[in-house]
Structure 1
């Protein structure tokens, strides 16, 4: 990974549309090869060509009729996209208007890349083209919700897969949302059991069924992922990560990070950074 660079995408500012689109050709013009970390969603549909995108330190192939979903906060880098054709849709988390689309957007475990089945492609293509048409229309007076409505339709047609097979477990879903909101301050599974009003054993069983991991391991994985993002993109030191992630000192953070990754934070940072 490279150090922090200027943002490839145009940030959403005050008064900006909730949904923006761009081609891979425009992405190539703006992309400097560095890592990106946006506070909005990036959804891409590939029409042709081959390349790759690295999302949170995992490399995913780009190929004809594949889709990519990069959630806010994910560190990512576009690689080898010289021959890739298609479109990207950039949208804020509140843009989708349908309940199902909003729930999916709020989920932290959408798969980053998947192939669109042949039977689904005509519907995905039509939904994408309709969104592109409306997004390019001149502004009009009054509410302009069509792009948000069509974004919801595109998401429904794409049917993004989930990483957690048992994400419908209500106890786990509450736990997952609570961890996402508070992992920077609380690393103890007992805190989440108390906050949600469940016995620790009940919470542990629910998380184990959904993920195959203990509640504590799930929390540690989320903390370590954020630490990797801060080390690779923001270029924080171990002490900086410790302060940001609620550890009393750099030593406590380094012990947890090394146990999870097999490397001290500084060595891991060097291994993924190209100056």
Structure 2
């Protein structure tokens, strides 16, 4: 894990395993994380998966703070703006991995999901299996380079993810129509803001698509698209410190004024005012 580039106190992190060995999975303890962490805000191009054994703390992911305690897990996907707020008393391990590291179909689907739950408590009945999967992954990480089987870290990571069973939040009751819609929005929300476009592109009637999205999320298809654009806009404003004009260019709006009206209608606040409120030490809206 290395730091590349600075925008105020918010850092862009890019994946690079220790020693440049080219592995897709890296592990560390919370002790090591504390040595590397200065309390600043980060945005990474890799996944961060943490398992907490004991202690109390918190992490902020995409402007929402989550408490951490005994037997909790954290998942920060690539692109999410996050900050370790209070980890002084935490024990456990952190796993860093590239999006292509998992090897099973089910775990790759979980990793590809754009809306994972950021933190959750591991049920007591699942904990022995989670702990065993984690210990096996950690043991493999200690093997001498000459003895490491390159496919094993991905296999053991997949086992850990499968045993953790990350909750899927709003997409938990996902149906195939919504899954296609969600993937399409994730790929094209910067260019297409209209629910009708996605219905047409996926071959559904607008009412059919809207019904599927509401069943899975409780929101309309339009609201889902708006929420995704707003999340990315907040990331750009907080992390990249872009102006309204810059956000408009990245997110497919005709001009800064058009984007500002959209952001105001969606959040009740103009982009500049929201950006001024978000500092490296206070990321909650």
TM interval, short-chain normalised: over 0.9
Question: Given the two structures, how large is their TM-score scaled by the length of structure 1?
Answer: 0.94
Tell me the distance in 1 between the aligned counterparts of 2:30 and 2:14: 12
Shift of 1:135: 1.7
Match of 2:92 among 86, 92, 95: 86
**Residue segments in structure 1 that go unaligned for 5+ positions in a row:** none
Aligned to 1:149: 155
Q: Which runs of 5+ in 2 are unaligned?
A: 1-6
The Cα shift of 1:212 comes to 1.2
- The match for 2:54 among 31, 48, 56 is 48
Per-residue CA deviation, residues 50-106 of structure 1 (Å, 9 max, x unaligned), is 110000000001111100001111100001111111110011111111111111111
Confirm or deny: 8 A CA contact 1:189 1:216 kept in the other structure: yes
Distance apart, 1:6 and its partner CA: 3.9
What's 1:66 paired with? 72
Q: What residue is the counterpart of 2:260 in the other structure? A: 254
Equivalent of residue 134 in structure 1, options 114, 131, 140: 140
Q: What is the CA-CA distance between 1:11 and the residue it aligns to?
A: 3.5
Kindly report the root-mean-square deviation, in angstroms, between the aligned alpha carbons of the 2 structures: 1.9
Moved more, 135-144 or 31-40: 135-144
Matching residue of 2:4: none
Partners of 2:10 and 2:268 lie apart in 1 by: 28
Task: Give matches, 1:95-134, under 5 Å.
Answer: 95-134=101-140
- Say how many residue pairs are matched: 274
Q: Give the structure 2 partner of residue 5 of structure 1.
A: 10
Distance 1:117 1:166, change over 3 A: closer
Match of 1:76 among 51, 60, 82: 82
Q: Tell me if the contact between 1:4 and 1:234 (Cα under 8 Å) persists in the aligned partners.
A: no
The 8 Å contact of residues 18 and 148 in structure 1, kept in 2 or not, is answered as yes
**Post-superposition CA distance 1:115-144 (Å, at most 9, x none):** 111111111111101101112212237951
Does the CA contact (< 8 Å) of 1:166 and 1:209 recur in 2? no
Is the 2:41–2:81 contact (alpha carbons within 8 Å) kept by the matching residues of 1? yes
C-alpha separation in 1, matches of 2:107 and 2:170: 17
Runs of 4+ in 1 over 6 A off after TM superposition: none
Q: CA separation of 1:186/1:149 partners in 2, compared to 1, >3 Å: closer, same or farther?
A: same
Considering fraction of residues, name the structure with more strand. 2
Question: How far off its partner does 1:151 sit?
Answer: 0.4
State the match for 1:224 in structure 2.
230
Q: Which has the higher contact order (CA 8 A, sep 6+)?
A: 1
2:44 corresponds to: 38
**Could you tell me whether the CA contact under 8 Å between 2:14 and 2:45 is conserved in 1?**
no
- CA distance, structure 2, for counterparts of residue 257 and residue 167 of structure 1: 29
Per-residue deviation at 1:231? Answer: 0.6
Structure 2 Cα separation of the partners of residues 105 and 149 of structure 1: 14
TM-score by length of 2: 0.91
